[in-house]
Structure formats: structure tokens, C-alpha cells
Amino acid sequence: EETGRVSYAKSTADRVAEYSRNSYRLANDISPIPKVANRRRRNRCKKSLRLFAETYFPERFTLKWSPDHLDFISHLEDRITEGGYKAHAMPRGSGKSSLVITAAEWAALYGFRKYLFLIAVSDSKAKTLIDVIKTDLFANEKLAADFPEACYPIKKLEQKSIKAKSQTLNGDPTYITWSTNRIILPQIPKAMSSQAVFHAAGITSGEIRGAVYTNPKGSMCRPDWILLDDPQDDEVA
């Protein structure tokens, strides 16, 4: 009888442990990913950074474009899709940062670029760039509707970076990262944006040298699009 009671107690503990594991697994699994709300709208914006900005960020870009803006947008689009180097100067307050952040999101969501490195004059300024991208991916409803493979897993984090480590899709890790200076979009099968990286740092930061990301398949990815946004301090300027 004593042996039987011990055996029964162990069996109950095993069932409780299994229930806890299953509950934890289900609580962290985000499947299924919602369907794209408007695929035609999404496909049209892939062909034009300007249209992407006007469609998904109408509250950000409220004024008519000037010729300088259109020229800047054209250069951003070309550098993202074709590569190369370009330095562009515009007056302060004319929307440079807003445009380059939007361009970075366009590049990542459509898979034009996989590792986008944003460099600012200081780490705090760089963090501001990442914070804007975080807000866009988490809170922009139209963006979330048309890019659910990127935005839905972010929404499920509930702004808690600790939840990224345990997030799964159909039982498989999404490998999403949500830190103060880096975002790695979730690994979603067939998604254009899968494992795209946003990384930001100050121009004197040690993170710039040797920047690399090793994806779940073991491939080492280095920055393939670098943006320097107002990299001069007041003294240099």
C-alpha cells in the first residue's frame, strides 16, 4: 500500500507538470498569423516609397511634397533597391528623419534589405530612431493589417521584450528580438520581412565595428544598408 501511494503521487506530479508545460506552450504560441487585409494596396506600395509613405503614414506626411522631397525620396528608393552611396543635405525640420525611418521600414517589410543599420550622433539619438520604428510596427493599424507577418508577432509581445524569448509559431521559435537598440523581425515561413534587422547606434559606439547577426540557420548577416542621420554634433557642425 505504501508503494502504491508513492507511485500515485508521482503520477499526479507528472500530469501536473505536463499540464503546466502545455499551458506555457499554448500561452506563448501566436498561431495563426492573420491574413493580409489588402494585398492589392500592399503590392502597389512595394513599387513606390512615396506611395508607401502616403498610404501608411498620412498623419506623418501631411503637406504636399516639394521638389526637394521628391528628389530625396527618389534617391532613398534607388539606394535601397540598387545600392550605392549618397549624401543628401536638407534644412532642419524638413522631414529628413521621418523619411529615412519610413524608408528603412519599407526596405525591411518588402525584403529589399535584411540588416538596416541606423547611425546617429549619439546612442540616445539612435535609440530615438528605434523607438519610432517600434511605435510604427506596434501601433500603426493599417501597417498591421497589411503586414501581419511582421506586426502581429510584435503586437503579441505587448511591449514586453522578455516575451520575445519564448514566442513560437506552430511550436517553432520566431526568434524575434525587441531590445533598446535592435529589432529583429520574426521568422515567419515565406515572409518577405523574415528575420530583418533594425540596429541603431551612436557614431562613436563600439557596436558599429564588426556588426553582425547570426540567423537561426547559422548564416552570418552583416549590414546591407547603412543610414547616417545627422551624425555631426554641435561642435563639428
pLDDT digits (tens, 9 = 90+) for 146-195: 999 999 999 999 999 999 999 999 999 999 999 999 999 999 999 999 99
What is the Cα–Cα distance from 118 to 126, expressed in whole angstroms?
7
Cβ-based neighbours of 14, under 8 Å, separated by 6 or more: none
Mean model confidence pLDDT for the chain? 90
pLDDT digits (tens, 9 = 90+) for 218-237: 889 999 999 999 888 888 77
Helix (H) or strand (E) holding 220: strand 220-221
Amino acid symbol at 100: V
Angle between helices 123-139 and 96-109 (to 10 degrees): 60
Residue tagged 506555457 (cell numbers): 24
